[in-house]
């Protein structure tokens, strides 16, 4: 039995990116700064968490060693926990041009993004007048609200009531290559929101915008508005066949957990399983492990780290989410069979202690385990694509054009 499982802790960077200064992120370190804040008490919150960061199961996979490899050292008095015999650990640099979600995931799947995405300017209004006019005309709208760089919770609180009263959708963007549309799930209509996103997707293609995202919400007032789990990303497809495409072409199955299907424009994904929240996502991932057969890949994204805590610069919330995830990790490891490999990584950073609300350019952890592996130190990988090529070799696929497998370094027969 040869199966593979990739768990992406969305935004869980570990610092040290070689080109961080180019992005204004030199010194950012999502994991390191969370550890430091927990150690000092800055991440204590009544009813949420307290004390040093407690992630013993990821530590047993070599997380602290990976962090040290990535950024030189890790402070915060983490307990020294022995690394499991069959665990492997290291870090990876991103070579894609951006620090966004699609670029990170595509590079993990062995297709780096070497072109530049299109972005919207930091102005109000932010969208070109010609684009807005085309959206209004083609979708039959009375207009749009927002039209600026903002966080989703901010624009929903600020414009949600006016949206309900006027029927105008709330349109906004961020430092990513993205056009986001928030609308009330029942008053505007979920399917109507999805159709609006399809219209916008076609209109922003000439601008090379990576994603159009539907952000439905419920509630009747600014105090009660709440985003739902029916988010949907309308992304451009990867420019080349990814690891996922290669597996499906071979006849294997790729089970996408969370927003994986959306990120890959539903190409190379055999089955999509969604859920609301990291813990429900973990349940879905465990179901994927149970259902996976020889040659299959389960690819899971745990988005809460990024959307709920990284972007909102919530250190205590991020730390609590890591601890909750870590407590569930033995459930996944216990399901591994001989010939399986479980790999934990991230797609970028989103340091909750950093300025602003955007992603941060960081190295990511590459840690994991598999029954029968000899494990060990894999060092700093020059691209996330090494992850995809390692999984490809493990699943007996021919090498792709990007990345270098480290499978021989961790395999028992090496």
| Percent of residues, the chain, with pLDDT higher than 90 | 90
pLDDT tens digits for 77-90? 555 678 999 999 99
State the virtual CA torsion across 249, 254, 260, 266 in degrees, nearest 10.
Answer: 40
Report pLDDT for 153.
83
pLDDT in tens, 87-126: 999 999 999 998 999 999 999 999 999 988 999 999 999 9
Alpha-carbon distances, residue 26 vs 23, 104, 234, 351, 362 (angstroms): 8, 19, 31, 11, 9
Q: Above 70 in pLDDT, residue 1?
A: no
Angle at 326 between CA 324 and CA 328, to 5 degrees: 75
* Mean pLDDT confidence for 304-312: 93
Q: Report the predicted TM-score, pTM, of the whole model to 2 decimal places.
A: 0.90
User: Per-residue pLDDT tens for 126-179?
Assistant: 999 999 999 999 999 999 999 999 888 889 999 999 999 999 999 999 878 999
Question: How many helices and strands, by DSSP H and E, does the chain display?
Answer: 14, 14
Q: Is 193 left (phi over 0), alpha (psi -120 to 50) or beta?
A: alpha
* pLDDT score at 412: 77
Is the separation of the CB atoms in 75 and 32 below 8 Å? yes
Which band of pLDDT confidence, cut at 50, 70 and 90, is reported for residue 201?
very high
Decide if pLDDT at 278 tops 80: yes
Mean pLDDT in the chain? 94
Could you give the CA distance from residue 139 to residue 316 in angstroms, rounded to a whole number?
Answer: 41
User: Cβ contacts of residue 153 below 8 Å, gap of 6+?
Assistant: 227, 312
State residue 80's pLDDT score: 66
> What pLDDT shows up at residue 147?
96
Q: Cα–Cα distance between 182 and 175 in angstroms, integer? A: 17
Residue 414 pLDDT greater than 60, yes or no:
no
23-46: average pLDDT? 95
Cα–chain center distance at 232? 14
pLDDT on residue 73: 64
Query: Is 383's pLDDT higher than 90?
Result: yes
**pLDDT tens sequence across 331-353:** 999 999 999 999 999 999 999 99
Contact 406, 381 (CB under 8 A): yes
Q: Judge whether 43 and 68 are in contact, CB under 8 Å.
A: no
pLDDT at 72: 78
Q: Which tens digits make up the pLDDT trace of 281-299?
A: 999 999 999 999 999 999 9
- pLDDT exceeds 80 at position 63: yes
């Amino acid at each position: 039995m040869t199966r593979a499982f990739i768990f992406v802790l969305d935004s869980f960077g570990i610092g040290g990116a070689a080109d961080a200064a180019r992005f204004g992120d030199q010194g950012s370190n999502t994991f390191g700064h969370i550890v430091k804040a927990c150690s000092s008490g800055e991440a204590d919150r009544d009813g949420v968490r307290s004390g040093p960061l407690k992630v013993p199961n990821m530590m047993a996979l070599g997380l602290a060693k990976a962090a040290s490899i990535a950024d030189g050292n890790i402070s915060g008095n983490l307990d020294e926990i022995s690394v499991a015999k069959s665990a492997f650990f290291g870090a990876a640099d991103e070579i894609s041009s951006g620090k966004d979600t699609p670029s990170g995931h595509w590079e993990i799947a062995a297709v780096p993004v070497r072109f530049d995405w299109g972005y919207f300017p930091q102005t109000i209004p932010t969208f070109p007048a010609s684009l807005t006019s085309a959206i209004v005309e083609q979708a039959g709208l009375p207009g749009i609200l927002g039209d600026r760089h903002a966080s989703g919770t901010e624009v929903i609180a600020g414009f949600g009531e006016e949206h309900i009263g006027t029927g105008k959708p709330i349109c906004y963007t961020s430092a990513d290559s993205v056009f986001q549309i928030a609308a009330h799930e029942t008053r505007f209509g979920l399917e109507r929101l999805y159709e609006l996103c399809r219209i916008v997707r076609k209109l922003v293609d000439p601008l090379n915008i990576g994603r159009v995202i539907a952000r439905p919400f419920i509630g009747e007032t600014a105090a009660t508005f709440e985003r739902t789990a029916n988010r949907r990303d309308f992304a451009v497809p990867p420019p080349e066949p990814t690891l996922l495409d290669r597996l499906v072409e071979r006849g294997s199955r790729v089970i996408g957990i969370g927003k994986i299907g959306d990120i890959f424009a539903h190409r190379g994904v055999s089955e999509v399983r969604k859920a609301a929240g990291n813990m429900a996502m973990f349940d879905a991932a465990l179901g994927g492990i149970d259902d996976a057969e020889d040659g299959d890949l389960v690819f899971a994204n745990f988005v809460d780290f990024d959307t709920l805590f990284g972007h909102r610069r919530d250190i205590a919330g991020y730390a609590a989410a890591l601890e909750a995830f870590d407590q569930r990790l033995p459930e996944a490891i216990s399901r591994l069979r001989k010939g399986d490999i479980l790999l934990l990584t991230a797609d970028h950073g989103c340091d909750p202690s950093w300025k602003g609300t955007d992603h941060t350019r960081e190295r990511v952890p590459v840690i994991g385990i598999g029954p029968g592996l000899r494990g060990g130190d894999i060092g700093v990988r020059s691209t996330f694509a090494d992850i995809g090529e390692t999984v490809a070799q493990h699943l007996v696929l021919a090498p792709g054009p990007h990345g270098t497998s480290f499978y021989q370094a961790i395999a028992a027969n090496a």
